[in-house]
Chain A
Amino acid sequence: MSKVMNSFLEAVSDIQDGATLIVGGFGLCGIPEKSIEALQDRGVKDLTVASNNCGVDDAGLGRLLVNKQIKKMIASYVGENKTFEKQFLNGELEVELSPQGTLAERIRAGGAGIPGFYTATGVGTPIAEGKETKEFNGKTYLLEEGIVGDFALVKAWKADTLGNLVYRKTAMNFNPLAAMAGKITIAEVEEIVEAGELTPEEIDTPGIYVQRVLLGTDYEKRIERLTVRKA
């Protein structure tokens, strides 16, 4: 059975108020632009979102922030977003900062059925507050918990009709992890091919993790910091 859907609004139609979402991307690179836009149109509220960043004021997850659809954000770096800063400082937005490697592993673990793991990251820092610790070979480690999402929104380069995904360059980032950790994973891509047209060797995310596949068009792919050299 093909996992391909035609409407982004239909693909996000069962995401309810209060849902937990895991969203791929790093900055504005490899973000599921079209699913985010559809969620903005749908207007669901009180979302908990785990994603490395929270977009910028008018792009990526920033669109949901401006619309006050996010109740809680789990992220590692949110420095590019004024709306975020404002909503956090006036108490509208709950924030759980998680170190980037810990966040990646929490999402991977969630998708891999591992409820928690120990890491040295964050020992002796504010993020260790309230967390269980354990010593291994004389060194202290923190217990961190896996994250599972009701839905995951991911962006890949190509998909086949069975949901096998291939990513492009550094637009991969958190996407393969997010794909694993969603109870329902919605993947948007720039090209969809028939099953069999991607070779088994080239597949990054096996289709078993992916429930819905959509073709996105007119990607903005905004560059946050254009840096070039003279030819």
Chain B
Amino acid sequence: MTETRNSIVKRAVEEIQDGMNVNLGIGMPTLVANEIPDGMTVLLQSENGLLGIGPYPVEGQEDADLINAGKETITTVPGSSFFDSAESFAMIRGGHIDLAILGGMEVSESGDLANWMIPGKVVKGMGGAMDLVVGAKRVVVIMDHVNKHGESKVKKTCALPLTGLSVVDRLITDLAVFDFTEDGMVLVETSAGITIDEVKGKTEATFTVSPDFIIR
């Protein structure tokens, strides 16, 4: 894991509280699972039909009938349950998942999220992301602040097709943490060594600075 990814993942795990039911998206969000402190009881949901994801199996113990939403072989934790896909999304859409941590391609200043499609490029599909963003009680997006060309991924409006409209509660990037409130987008944290001016320079979106703003 690169240092940037590592810092985002370490910050994201702080969003998780004891007793929560949490859904982690595919990719970088999956890495958050490894950082959950021992002693916390957290049930991780996999939208293909499991509440209570455990660690990867010991070599040789893998079971083709037991995978996560990223199609990786996994195990279960004590107290886990299996269910069908309709039940799984009843949990998600019905507001029973406390927290979803998802990856992003673009986030807008009004909390819109785009993370599933680049027009004219590869067709992949949204999977369960559109259901998660409208259904989970709290949606946290984690992503790099700028793309590989140095352009801001935190936009005034998303250029890419949306996954959901005004759905993001919190955005965590390698540079900063933002909340999306009724008063708009608010900067609540910057990473150590990052100034507010630097964040402003790398952010297309307009935001205000929280009175409780901290440098980590």
The residues of A with any CB-CB pair to B shorter than 8 Å are 26-30, 52, 75-80, 84-85, 88-89, 95, 97, 99-105, 107-108, 119-127, 157, 167-177, 204, 221-231
Contact = CB atoms under 8 A, between A and B. Distances in A.
B84 A222 contact: no
Given A169-B66, A173-B48, A100 B127 contact: yes
13 contacts: A27-B48, A28-B71, A88-B123, A97-B123, A99-B126, A101-B93, A105-B89, A124-B165, A174-B84, A224-B71, A227-B56, A228-B57, A229-B58
Contact of B73 (A123, A124, A204, A223): A223
Interface in B151-167: 161-166
Given A79-B122, A170-B46, 11 more contacts: A99-B128, A99-B130, A119-B131, A121-B93, A126-B117, A157-B65, A223-B62, A223-B64, A228-B61, A230-B58, A231-B58
Contacts of A84: 123
Contacts of B58: 228-231
Contacts of B50: 169-170
B89 A100 contact: yes
Nearest to B120: A89
Nearest to B117: A126
> When A and B form their complex, which 8 residue pairs have the shortest distance between CB atoms, in order from nearest?
A101-B89, A124-B165, A101-B131, A79-B124, A221-B64, A104-B85, A77-B125, A100-B128
Contact of A27 (B67, B88, B92): B67
Contact of A29 (B56, B61, B62, B65): B65
A78 B117 CA distance: 12
Given A222-B64, A227-B74, A231-B58, A173 B135 contact: no
Interface of B: 46-50, 55-74, 82-86, 88-89, 92-93, 112, 117, 122-131, 134-135, 161-166
A230 B59 contact: yes
Nearest to B127: A77
A76 B127 contact: yes
Contacts of A127: 126, 130
B84 A126 contact: no
A52 B55 CA distance: 25
B46 to A, nearest CB: 7
Contact of B122 (A29, A85, A225): A85
Contact of A172 (B61, B64, B83, B129): B83
Contacts of B85: 26, 52, 100-101, 103-104, 173-174, 177
A227 B123 contact: no
A29 B85 CA distance: 13
A227 B72 CA distance: 6
Nearest to A30: B65
A210 to B, nearest CB: 15
B49 to A, nearest CB: 5
Contact of A121 (B49, B117, B130, B162): B130
B86 A104 contact: yes
A173 B49 contact: yes
A102 B86 CA distance: 9
Contacts of A126: 117, 161-162
B27 to A, nearest CB: 12
B124 A168 contact: no
A27 B46 CA distance: 13
B130 A169 contact: no
A167 B85 CA distance: 13
Nearest to A107: B86
Contacts of B63: 169
A80 to B, nearest CB: 8
